[in-house]
Amino acid sequence: MTSIRTLKTDKIQATVKRVTSGRIPTEHGDFQLLYYTNSIDNKEHLAFCLGDVAGEDILTRVHSECFTGDVMGSRRCDCGEQLQRSMALVAAKGQGVIVYLRQEGRGIGLMAKLDAYNLQDQGYDTVDANLMLGHEADEREYSLAACILEDLGVASVQLMTNNPLKISALQASGIKVSSRVSLEAPVNADNKAYLLAKATRMDHMLDMSQNERNIKATTTANVSARGKNESEPAN
Ligand SMILES: Nc1nc2c(ncn2[C@@H]2O[C@H](COP(=O)(O)OP(=O)(O)OP(=O)(O)O)[C@@H](O)[C@H]2O)c(=O)[nH]1
Ligand SMILES: [Zn+2]
């Protein structure tokens, strides 16, 4: 069913139009994918819903697109795991929404994100890499997410995030955040520096001491798994 919603703050006026939707069966259950157009950009922002999401305290994830992590399973970041975990939490509750915003690379796009990755491979962290490329550390914007949530009838959210800036940005767009649900992914050797930079430079609420323990466990498990494979006879 088509519907239109406009949000007006002192900074921005945004309109979203729900154009169509379809059923998407996943390993976590049957979700409904709602497709939106909007007045701000020409991207396809989405809502992935399960159950009736109109009301208070709706379990919600506002996820920023990460092609490398979400689709290709990159271990450089925690995005793919956070997406899967948020779907699992929604499915366990039988109700919730994942707003999928097409703000790849914290808003700088995939091409610049790959350039930023090359700088990170030279030793710069995720914040400095963005700045060296002439971007801000985080160029995301959340008014369309607020518009989409309003269109869905979500009155207040239990927000799955570790990012305090995301909470305040959504609140500034009129979304009532009733609580935060932590969404920590396991640490590995490839995402450790990234997670550390998020905790120390972007104030993300990550328990790095727990992460340190995780990485030791993961590394040990990898080493023993590799040792086992190597000792297996070749076919
Ligand atoms: N520019 C840039 N973007 C990145 C990098 N790694 C991941 N991203 C993008 O960052 C976005 C995800 O942001 P994060 O900071 O990981 O997490 P968040 O969404 O702010 O916070 P959470 O809600 O806790 O997940 C996605 O758009 C990714 O494509 C990076 O090294 N550089
Ligand atoms: Zn990612």
Same domain, 173 and 199: no
Position 133 in a domain? no
Same domain, 150 and 221: no
Same domain, 221 and 152: no
Same domain, 212 and 159: no
Q: What percent of the chain has pLDDT over 90?
A: 81
Written as one string, the DSSP assignment of 181-216 is E--PPPP-TTTHHHHHHHHHHS-----HHHHHHHHH
Structure confidence by residue, pLDDT tens digits, 93-132: 999 999 999 999 999 999 999 999 999 999 999 999 999 9
Expressed as residue numbers, the domain containing 169 is: 3-103+140-185
Question: How far does CA 202 lie from the centroid of its chain?
Answer: 15
> How many angstroms separate the alpha carbon of residue 64 from the centre of ligand 1?
7
Q: Is 162 in the pocket of ligand 1 (CB under 6 A)?
A: yes
The ipTM value here is 0.97
CA gap 111, 105 in Å, rounded: 9
Q: Is 170 in the pocket of ligand 1 (CB under 6 A)?
A: no
Q: What percent of the chain has pLDDT over 70?
A: 88
Q: Is 65 in the pocket of ligand 1 (CB under 6 A)?
A: yes
Total structural domains in the chain?
Answer: 2
Same domain, 194 and 88: no
Same domain, 9 and 67: yes
Which active-site residues does the annotation give? 138, 140
Question: How far does CA 102 lie from the centroid of its chain?
Answer: 10
Query: Residue 43: how many CB atoms within 10 A of its CB?
Result: 15
Same domain, 214 and 152: no
> How many angstroms separate the alpha carbon of residue 70 from the centre of ligand 2?
7
As annotated, the binding site for Zn(2+) includes 66, 77, 79
Copy the structure tokens of residue 142.
């959340």
Q: Which bound ligand lies closest to the C-alpha atom of 98?
A: 1
What pTM did the predictor assign? 0.89
CA gap 60, 219 in Å, rounded: 32
